[in-house]
Amino acid sequence: MKKRLLQLALVIFSFGGYAQNETAIKFAGTITKEDLYGHLSILASDALEGRETGKRGQKMAAAYIRSYFQELGLSGPLDGKYFQQFDLESSSPGDTYVMIGSEKKINGETSLYWGKNSSEGEKTLPAVYAGNGSDLDNMDLKGKAVIMSLEGSFQLFRKIKKKADEKGAALVVIVNTENQEKFNERIAGWKNFFMGASLGFSDKEEITSGGVFFISPENAAAILGIKMEEMSKIVKEQEDGDNTAYKKIKAGNITYKTSRNIKTVQTENVLGFLEGTDKKDEIVVVTAHYDHIGIIGGKINNGADDDASGTSSLLEIAEAFVKAKEEGKGPRRSILFMTVTGEEKGLLGSQYYVKNPVFPLENTVVDLNIDMVGRIDPEHEEKSDYVYLVGSDRLSTELHQISEKVNETFTQFDLDYTYNEESHPDRIYYRSDHWNFAKNNIPIIFYFNGVHEDYHKSTDTIDKIEFELLTKRAQLVFHTAWVLANREQRIVADKIQGTKVERK
């Protein structure tokens, strides 16, 4: 108890000069809605084609950010360079099909395949029918293709595939529509998701498990040598608790082929560095992702909120700190301003940085991550003066106390911690670039406006950005970074996690 009271006293004491700190207020005032609009109008323009990782628009955005860092006078921390470049692997479906009799059911046309492995040519496996999959624990699946009649969400499919993999299944085949007509509708709805290229780091390890084929009931019945009506009856009996009926079906073999088209894609984080004074070896990191989801179905997804809003905020915060330094006002600690790539593809840019840090992670004090801060979500339409905070108390009691005090002193937002709840189903703590710092026990704060109807749609455009609110949120991040960069003591991570922290 005494320790907690001492911590609180130190936090309050450290703010003794900040409550009336005209210097911080002065430089926060250089963050303006006009300047934010200027950055956003470029980053969220059609010319940048949605900034998809590895594509032309992302390269154009990177060049703009680098040019602005140079204009500000930030240094390039990679031997004078601003780009932290790295390679990713783009993987898209190749020649992939499942045989029904003598007919090929082509992926994306009359079947759907989800997976990354290659069968290295046409392959034939013994098949086994598992009804609705509820009795997999009692089945011999090793080296076989398991066929299941299963409706549900994609999470259910992931779960059932994982169980089948654990039992040694070589392939999973799922029947999850009523008839061929319904299956054709499913193909039309899921085709873009299944047929698009995935982007990630090259995995040199052999993929030992197969993927999942989705097929129509008619084609499944043909493989099993039964009528559709019989298959439907068996599924119903199993749902009613009869785990014997499906065992009567003796499936034969299944023949299929999977392949992937692989190519290398180069992308880059953009880093600008402001050296501190007497505590320059300690690093405050400010991040925002500048990539988005590109062009889908012929429509440009500009990503004005996601995350041109955060990127523009970062650029303005950087400018405010540069102006302060030019007038001899710090910062004491160094600040790394980093716009990361590949967030939409799986937090890839921040993952690469923490595995290849420009500055030692043990010298990294905090990551303040800004992702979607330009809009109002449906929960706050009546009271819009808010921002969601995630993670401020997960690793450092002190960071949370400082964050609260900064807001009380400078911005007076309604700080909403809804998404910070460990039990929240959206699991936001694990879904933006701060996570790659947090899992290395570096304290973080994530600033977020919540999800709205235009999330990941072509309608996420600049005309819907609330610039007054965006300005104030950027100023909150600036004030927080100012205190963390200039206070005497480095914040303490007093809630260290285990060494094996996994994304949930």
Q: Where are the chain's structural domains?
A: 2-89+264-486, 95-258
**Mean pLDDT on 137-141:** 92
Three-class secondary structure assignment of 35-58: HHHHHHHHHCCHHHCCCECCCHHH
Looking at residue 32, its pLDDT comes to 98
Domain 2-89+264-486 has CATH 3.40.50.150: no
Whole-angstrom distance, CA of residue 499 vs CA of residue 81: 32
Looking at residue 381, its pLDDT comes to 95
**Mean pLDDT on 244-268:** 90
Close Cβ partners of 277 (under 8 Å, ≥ 6 residues apart): 330, 331, 332
Sign of the Cα pseudo-torsion (480, 471, 376, 272, in order): negative
Closest by CA position to 393, among listed 403, 383, 385, 384: 403
**According to the per-residue pLDDT averaged within each range, which of 154-158, 223-227, 233-237, 253-257 is highest?**
253-257
Close Cβ partners of 502 (under 8 Å, ≥ 6 residues apart): 439
Counting Cβ atoms within 10 Å, is residue 31 exposed (0-12), middle (13-18) or buried (19+)? buried
Per DSSP, the chain holds a count of helices (H) and strands (E) of 13, 19
Q: What is the CATH number of domain 95-258?
A: 3.50.30.30
Whether 69 shows a pLDDT value over 80: the answer reads: yes
Dig out the tokens for 112 from the structure.
């759907």
- Residue 257, classed as helix, strand or coil, is strand
Asked if 30 and 473 count as a contact pair (C-beta separation under 8 A), the reply is no
How many residues does the structure list for the chain? 504
pLDDT tens digits along 165-184: 999 999 999 987 677 788 88
Instruction: Return the number of other C-beta atoms located less than 10 Å from residue 376's C-beta.
Output: 18
Whole-angstrom distance, CA of residue 257 vs CA of residue 94: 10
